[in-house]
Structure 1
């Protein structure tokens, strides 16, 4: 008589159900929701989804998974663009979205302690009456735990830095269930290895973040937005380079090329704008400082062909403009009905930005691709959305070929394959080319030390 041996994952599900109850689920619809992010990789169903609410629950679950060799994939809001949350080897999708407590706010020291399921929007709503804000703004409705995992940045990074500069410390559950604390509340420290930054950007491959201590900033006295349009892509990029080289402390300087602007006008119902390359800017500081910054930038953009420089100091008007910028991904996807988008994430030294951005756009046109560009150009980072027909057997293949060309151009100019989205599944092939075989071997050895059974988000960052 043949008997079927129970799977290791079934033992984990049964044991975890004892303390998670119905928050450990094998429901098909919930598993499907956790099978993918916003990327173009093929979805993979996890065996189960665990909705955790405390560090202790995360620790107990990871200890079980470690014992039985079952894969674990952390999941926040599911907004990943590089396949980070796709459970390619099944196992347990570890949903942290219910861990949403703001545990501490230290007004005078300008720091806070939060759980990983808190979103940027939720945190800033909580902080508003305290005169503080958290500036890292990727634009999507993502969790801060996910932002830590991918070393996120976004529109404010040019002035306030990325997650790397704004995380002071972490609580992390390791693969075997041990809990460690990294960093602290001081602005600097010179003791031991910098474990905080080891976990920032590790994409859930080394451990699970269960608490985050963040650096906060005071809400500026004055904020003003401005929009300026250009007849050429090169003019907008050259303006950006000059603004940065002159040291003008802009808070945000974002670029939408003509195709992306056309999509944004249609999607966000922007009135009074042309479908031409556009810079969106924001200035923070005193009333006098903001005015001076804006006037300097207006003069620079005029020299490079910019026109119709518009100010927006009214909060509602500013919010409308930035919502249109933040919705640009969805605008690009919706621009041509039936198309999907593969999004690149190249970052280059600011002096090489014109070559990278203009060259990539011209090459895409020459190869017959429709692309839309949105860029955090103040720090040399841009995203070129390659629109493709999912019903065309060669559509995605052609988009990936274009992606490789854009990345190769950027790396040849001294850049990186990912400025903020991370590696996940989508950028694995570029990691060795960028860092070299020896550096990759060191990364693998760190992974093997902290996760000897390879259960933490397997298949990500490394191709095997």
Structure 2
């Protein structure tokens, strides 16, 4: 049976239909009906919800039921992967012959699901509801949505249950894909080979808080905002400083080594992980380190698993560093006549070593989008390139840093600084940056999508790449904006386009590819914080070359010889 047959079988539930469903879904609720039917809408995911209500009962599955769902959701991936085993000489530089992965048959999948449910004894541990499968295989945020959906979604409650799921999946060669916050800008949780999506929705607790040691042990589905809210309620005086999108969860943040607006002062996710509990492909449970903040004992396994996107193991617990809430905080915005002026000012701030807490850039298009979206109403913003600043520290230090930044902004044609007068205004001023992607998504019409991707370059090249990239987008006639964490050389392009218009999509693909190539030519990286996922595998090869990629594949082969852990992400086995 040919791959084309499988493609035709899956097509009705592929990208276009899924996107249409997401676009037409009601933005207000997540609905529950029938025997545990569970409908996920964009608003549901935006609010950070990912948990099936306790009252929900699992969809009753039978052999024919599972097979019917699997035939639609995962047949393409399984068909291609299980037709046969081929040898590809030289596919992995450190291994002369590497076989294509061969995954479970439909019958094996049915047996495995039954075995998981029997061993774990949970009524709602497995879902095969079509809407649940769609929510775990398609992301309206992403422009990288390969055909195929998971065949089942598992909802473990503990590390032991995750271990059992991995062990049984490994036994039957079933792909397992971790699911956390659900944004997946580069197709990180997509299921191109079908398999089981492991949703950590029920694993969202604080396990242990060590106030005197300024660290905390948490489960992967706890959101960073929820974590900080709980720390505040405890009156701890501490917070977790990594702040990506509002819906982000700790597990996904670890998987992508995310950052956010505070990265210029506090670094990225890798800098705040003390140790991890990880379930490996065969179900083995390991701990990467003990609890001291520093250790030179053996290999740095934290560095291996942070950023690995679940391709090496599933993180079930994380011990994270916390830090003291600063004595003083000030938020300010300043406008510039051109995007190059704003980027030049940002680079100069960093080159002078001024310890700003955050420094973000948004061009005139993105400022217009925020106004049009109304997310910060009644505030109306000037529709010119804008820098957003956070200053934190002692009162004297904040005052000194503000004065230095004001001088630099003025020398780069910056306007008058606008400062927040109180905490409410601080939240309002900063909300324009935090609501930027939501605002762009809110403007979509039927058939339209937003392609959002990022690169990072050294400070000295920041103004150059932003100016050239923006000009290309304008020359191509694209409705597109530039925004990003310019304090660490990282910026994003967000481009609105009609997926049904081939010419328009080709323009967007060209624009994104050129941005990546420019960044690499400037000794930058193809992704600052979104990771590789499904969408940037070619870019990773351009960036590191085949030999370095071969080392990565050797590590993968060692820890996951059956290639069941989030397959198809970061790199392919045969390329």
Deviation at 1:394, TM superposition (A): 3.1
Query: In structure 2, what is the Cα distance between the partners aligned to 1:291 and 1:456?
Result: 50
CA–CA distance in 2 between the matches of 1:116 and 1:160?
Answer: 21
Give 1:444 deviation, angstroms.
Answer: 0.4
1:321 equivalenced with 2:414 (yes/no): no
2:415 is the alignment partner of 1:303: no
The 8 Å contact of residues 71 and 458 in structure 1, kept in 2 or not, is answered as yes
Relative distance call for 1:270 and 1:154 in structure 2 (3 A) is farther
Q: Distance in 2 between matches of 1:170 and 1:427?
A: 26
SS of the residue aligned with 2:569? coil
Change in 2 beyond 3 A, CA 1:229/1:6: closer
Which of residues 489, 499, 505 in structure 2 aligns to 1:380? 489
Give the 3-state SS of the residue equivalent to 1:9 in structure 2: helix
Q: How far apart in 1 are the matches of 2:205 and 2:466? A: 41
Structure 2 CA distance for partners of 1:219 and 1:70, relative to 1, 3 Å: same
1:75 to 179, 184, 195: 179
Aligned position for 1:110: 214
- 1:138 and 2:138 aligned: no
In the alignment, the residues of structure 2 paired with residue 460 and residue 357 of structure 1 have an alpha-carbon distance, to the nearest angstrom, of 28
Residue 28 (structure 1) shift = 1.2
Does 2:319 align with 1:213?
Answer: yes
Choose the corresponding residue for 1:274, options 379, 382, 386: 382
Q: Deviations over 1:58-100 (max 9, x none)?
A: 0001000000000000001211100011111011000012101
Establish whether residue 232 from structure 1 lines up as the match of residue 335 from structure 2. no
Q: 1:30 aligns with which of 132, 138, 151?
A: 132
Q: Distance in 2 between matches of 1:210 and 1:336?
A: 36
- Look up the SS of the partner of 1:220 in the other structure: coil
Identify the residue that residue 25 of structure 2 maps to in structure 1: none
Contact (CA 8 Å) 1:429, 1:463: kept in 2 or not? no
In the alignment of these two chains, the number of paired residues is 461
Conserved in 2, the CA contact under 8 Å of 1:139 and 1:155? no
Say whether the 8 Å CA contact 1:79–1:140 is kept in structure 2: no
Closer, same or farther: CA 270–252 of 1 in aligned 2, 3 Å = farther
Q: TM-score, normalised by structure 2?
A: 0.78
- 1:187 Cα deviation (Å)? 2.0
Q: Is the 1:263–1:334 contact (alpha carbons within 8 Å) kept by the matching residues of 2?
A: no
Structure 2 residue aligned with 1:160: 266
Q: TM-score, normalised by structure 1?
A: 0.97
* Cα deviation, residue 336, structure 1: 5.7
Corresponding residue for 1:39? 142
Aligned to 1:57: 161
Match of 2:400 in 1: 292
C-alpha contact (below 8 Å) 2:272/2:321 kept by paired residues: yes
What is the CA–CA distance in structure 2 between the aligned matches of 1:294 and 1:407, rounded to whole Å?
A: 33
Question: RMSD of aligned C-alpha atoms?
Answer: 1.4
Match of 1:200 in 2: 306
Unaligned runs of 5+ in 2: 1-66, 68-104
The answer to whether structure 1 residue 356 and structure 2 residue 465 are counterparts is yes
Query: Mean Cα displacement is larger for which, 212-221 or 185-194?
Result: 185-194
CA–CA separation in structure 1 for the residues paired with 2:445 and 2:339: 25
For the pair 1:16 / 2:116, whether they are aligned, the reply is yes
- Structure 1 CA distance, aligned partners of 2:505 and 2:148? 18
The corresponding residue for 2:571 is 462
